[in-house]
Amino acid sequence: MASPLPGYASHFGIDNLPFGVASSAAHRFPTCVSRLEDTVIFLADLNGAFKDVEGLPDAVFRQRYLNDYATLPDSVHQKVRYQLRATIRAGLPESSTEHISAVTMLLPVSIGDFTDFSCSLDHVLNASEAATGTRAAPPSFFHQPVGYAGRCSSLSISGTAVQRPLGQYWEGKPRQSDVVFGPSRKMDYELEIGCIVGRPISRNQPIMADQAEQHIFGYVLVNDWSARDIQVLEMDPLGPLNGKNAGTTLSPWIITRLALEDCKTASPPRQRHVAPHLSYSGHDTLSIDLTASISKSTDGTSEITCRSNTSSLYWTLAQCLAHQAIGGAGLRTGDLVATGTVSGSTEQEHGCLFEYVQDQSAAPRGYLEDGEIATLSGRCTEGIGFGECVATLIPATSLDV
């Protein structure tokens, strides 16, 4: 993994204080960290700053993953947040800090399950038009969040390259051409946000949407890379499978639920009444400004291809958790649940390139080329942002036959 570059200092003010896992030349073993501007804080080196936090296990910040910390109650998280702020203001020990450019960020939690939902009405309408020529939502969309189970072996941290996958797809128009095998010709990014489960939900334990938020530790940016040609063939009639298995990139910093308490707004109007477990106040939707851009590694030029906001999502992640729990599977600490593509109502708010298929005249560009870099970013207010979620698309492997 490449070291993250500076440039997002304004995202990480003292009201943010996210959590991640990092290592460096001076800190050889991965441990839990936080960030203030461009300074990474190695939490285990704060000389007993948290010794008076009742309920905080010893050496919890020396662990490789944040799971044991994420599962602790809000009361502990709030006290740690308070103590960290106090320690920053008093002056951090020099041995506990490094510049962001000197560290290597790693996956911050051990993720046992990954579910990708489709929460954006604008996205499903745009995708339907791109695929069929007709703007229509799936029959179940207004009744419940719809989603699929992803593959955790494909998850990687920001900065990890994604390889163009091999697979089968229609050579031309679906159902009107031969099926061929080769490298995907239609690689796409998806601009998403995801939540990390903190306190687990036991099997067969139903919860309400307004309770589910208490089980969210924090949020990350998600790029669920998509091989659109492979996906189209396998989703007739099931899938997706290999169309989504090339890679899913996560941003390295978990922005805690506590940090985003003031980043809420009203949801879009409901089309119909929902089942009791999906009911909520209607004012619990996160408002996060998101951008997607594509750059070329050869010349450094960059073009912004999307600007959208999570407030347009029809379903919240709390509703997604409640919906998944009602099926009986339960949720474990570290599980990742994502929104699916976050799109808005205008052409500038298409959260993936696939949405432009029907109207190529409006498309900012074609599908991704080898060597191109997809960068996602998100920001709520001054001092509270997500930094970047970035990955380079590299050529497919050769298959000796």
> Which residue out of 11, 123, 215, 350 is catalytically annotated?
123
157 contacts 1 by C-beta, under 8 angstroms: yes
At residue 280, the 3 state secondary structure works out as coil
88 contacts 37 by C-beta, under 8 angstroms: no
200 burial via Cβ count (<10 Å: 0-12, 13-18, 19+): middle
Cα–Cα distance for residue pair 284/213, rounded to 1 Å: 9
Cα–Cα distance for residue pair 135/119, rounded to 1 Å: 16
Return the DSSP state at 204: T
Cα–Cα distance for residue pair 380/387, rounded to 1 Å: 11
**18 φ/ψ sector (left φ>0, alpha ψ -120 to 50, else beta):** beta
How many CB atoms are closer than 10 A to CB 181? Answer: 10
Closest CA to 164 of 370, 367, 353: 370
Sequence-distant (6+) residues with CB within 8 A of 36 are 12, 13, 14, 17, 88
Q: How far does the chain reach from its first CA to its final CA, in angstroms?
A: 31
123 is catalytic: yes
The tokens 């809000």 sit on which residue? 74
Six-digit token string for 230: 């492979």
How many CB atoms are closer than 10 A to CB 329? Answer: 15
Cα–Cα distance for residue pair 255/278, rounded to 1 Å: 24
Bridge pairing between strands 289-296 and 302-309? antiparallel
User: Which are the catalytic amino acids?
Assistant: 123
